[in-house]
């Protein structure tokens, strides 16, 4: 079930960017949840292409249509089917990759694995798939309204938002197109992405996600630890190369006497290098983690590559692509986080 995620709250997805529609099935959503459909669409709008000058200019309305599992505005406990029609695909944009493998894409591996490849728009590897996840996450968020999940752009290339998350006003995140909650840093990031775009190049970045009001007890050791499942979720996103939570890779440089989080009398801790998770189980403190995205592989510069026969050919990126994937990935990170949390909430009951 390689296209399913989750144990009790699961999403099973399908779709390529150039087929008639993408979509999925949300299974295990508790009955009786009154869904706010505007909120769901708003999440999709945060991810959708064409929303600003620093993202792909492909235009897609990304309107989700729910087909089942909801009656008189409430979930019924039945599986929730949904589709998002593909409106503006232009298949001819992709004829140049029909027989050639784009560097650092999945063209080569898909062809070798499956022997057949829907080359239009990357087929199943298209980041369009993540719209399905945003639907799942938007439903999941409504199952756990008291938990707040805030992701934001924490770096673009070598530009970092240096502030610790505790000093950040998350309400600022949506006030700029790069989704960095510090207006000054955001301005620089936007400039950087725009410069990169003009060079026909792309740039990587990182997203930090902070989760507040998590109840104690989420996570199922030994193998379904909360952070392990969060990590798997994040590593499922296109272009992700790394995941760390709490002290992360920095923690590997520290001493135990520095790293240990000393308890307060109420069970909270004075520091939170643990990142809200101990032994794979939430401890009630804020959960925070960071996700690394490589630069988008499609660049508007000439690159050498090979075709199916193994001949060397020159390729030049075409079509409408993101110079930096990070701004649009912020709602995706939140969506997967929400689904992971709901799943563990249900497992914990």
With tokens 């790293």, the residue in question is 259
Cis omega (within 30 of 0) for bond into 222: yes
Tokens representing residue 79 in the block: 């599986």
At 249, give phi and psi (nearest 5°): -65, -30
Residues ≥6 apart with Cβ < 8 Å to 63: 41, 44, 84, 85
Q: Are 335 and 151 in contact, with CB atoms under 8 Å apart?
A: no
Tell me: is residue 268 an annotated ligand-binding position: no
Q: How far is the CB of 205 from a copy of itself (least distance, A)?
A: 6
Nearer to a copy of itself, 205 or 327 (CB): 205
Q: How far is the CB of 211 from a copy of itself (least distance, A)?
A: 16
Q: How far is the CB of 305 from a copy of itself (least distance, A)?
A: 5
Nearer to a copy of itself, 49 or 204 (CB): 204
Q: How far is the CB of 112 from a copy of itself (least distance, A)?
A: 5
CA 329 to CA 343: how far, in whole Å?
Answer: 21
Nearer to a copy of itself, 105 or 212 (CB): 105
Q: How far is the CB of 80 from a copy of itself (least distance, A)?
A: 7
Q: Are 96 and 317 in contact, with CB atoms under 8 Å apart?
A: no
Nearer to a copy of itself, 134 or 175 (CB): 134
Which is it for the CA torsion 166, 168, 174, 180, positive or negative? negative
Tell me: is residue 340 an annotated ligand-binding position: no
CA 155 to CA 141: how far, in whole Å?
Answer: 25
Tell me: is residue 4 an annotated ligand-binding position: no
List C-alpha distances in Å: 307 to 91, 111, 113, 296.
19, 11, 16, 21
Q: How far is the CB of 126 from a copy of itself (least distance, A)?
A: 10
Tell me: is residue 239 an annotated ligand-binding position: yes
Nearer to a copy of itself, 113 or 169 (CB): 113
Nearer to a copy of itself, 174 or 224 (CB): 224
Q: How far is the CB of 203 from a copy of itself (least distance, A)?
A: 5
Nearer to a copy of itself, 56 or 247 (CB): 247
Tell me: is residue 297 an annotated ligand-binding position: yes
Tell me: is residue 102 an annotated ligand-binding position: no
Nearer to a copy of itself, 171 or 264 (CB): 264
List C-alpha distances in Å: 63 to 12, 33, 42, 321.
18, 21, 10, 20
Residues ≥6 apart with Cβ < 8 Å to 1: 12
Residues ≥6 apart with Cβ < 8 Å to 278: none
CA 243 to CA 206: how far, in whole Å?
Answer: 10
CA 266 to CA 334: how far, in whole Å?
Answer: 29
Tell me: is residue 295 an annotated ligand-binding position: yes
Q: How far is the CB of 29 from a copy of itself (least distance, A)?
A: 11
Which is it for the CA torsion 269, 275, 279, 284, positive or negative? positive
Tell me: is residue 327 an annotated ligand-binding position: no
Tell me: is residue 53 an annotated ligand-binding position: yes
Tell me: is residue 298 an annotated ligand-binding position: yes
CA 238 to CA 47: how far, in whole Å?
Answer: 14
Which positions make up the binding site for NADP(+)?
47, 53
Which positions make up the binding site?
47, 53, 124-126, 238-239, 279, 294-298, 320
């Amino acid at each position: 079930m390689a296209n399913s995620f989750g144990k009790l709250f699961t999403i099973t997805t399908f779709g390529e960017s150039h087929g008639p529609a993408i979509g999925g099935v949300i299974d295990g959503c508790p009955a009786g949840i009154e869904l706010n459909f505007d909120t769901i669409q708003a999440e999709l709008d945060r991810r959708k292409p064409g929303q600003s000058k620093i993202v792909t200019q492909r235009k897609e309305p990304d309107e989700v249509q729910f087909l089942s599992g909801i009656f008189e505005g409430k979930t019924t406990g039945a599986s929730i089917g949904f589709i998002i029609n593909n409106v503006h695909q232009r298949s001819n944009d992709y004829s140049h990759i029909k027989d050639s493998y784009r560097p650092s894409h999945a063209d080569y591996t898909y062809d070798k694995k499956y022997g057949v490849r829907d080359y239009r728009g990357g087929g199943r590897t298209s980041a369009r798939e993540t719209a399905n996840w945003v639907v799942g996450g938007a439903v999941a968020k409504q199952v756990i309204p008291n938990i707040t999940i805030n992701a934001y752009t924490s770096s673009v290339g070598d530009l970092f938002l240096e502030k610790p998350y505790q000093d950040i006003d998350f309400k600022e995140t949506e006030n700029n197109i790069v989704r960095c909650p510090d207006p000054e840093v955001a301005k620089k990031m936007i400039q950087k992405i725009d410069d990169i775009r003009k060079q026909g190049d792309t740039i990587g970045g990182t997203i930090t996600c902070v989760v507040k009001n998590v109840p104690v007890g989420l996570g199922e050791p030994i193998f379904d630890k909360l952070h392990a499942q969060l990590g798997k979720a994040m590593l499922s996103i296109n272009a992700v190369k790394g995941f760390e939570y709490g002290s992360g890779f920095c923690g590997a440089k520290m001493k135990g006497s520095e790293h240990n989080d000393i308890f307060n009398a109420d069970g909270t801790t004075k520091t939170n290098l643990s990142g809200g998770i101990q032994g794979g189980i939430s401890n009630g403190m804020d959960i925070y983690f960071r996700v690394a995205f490589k630069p988008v592989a499609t660049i508007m510069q000439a690159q050498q590559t090979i075709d199916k026969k193994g001949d060397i050919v020159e390729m030049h990126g075409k079509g409408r692509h993101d110079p930096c994937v990070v701004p649009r990935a912020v709602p995706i990170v939140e969506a997967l986080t929400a689904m992971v949390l709901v799943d563990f909430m249900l497992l914990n009951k």
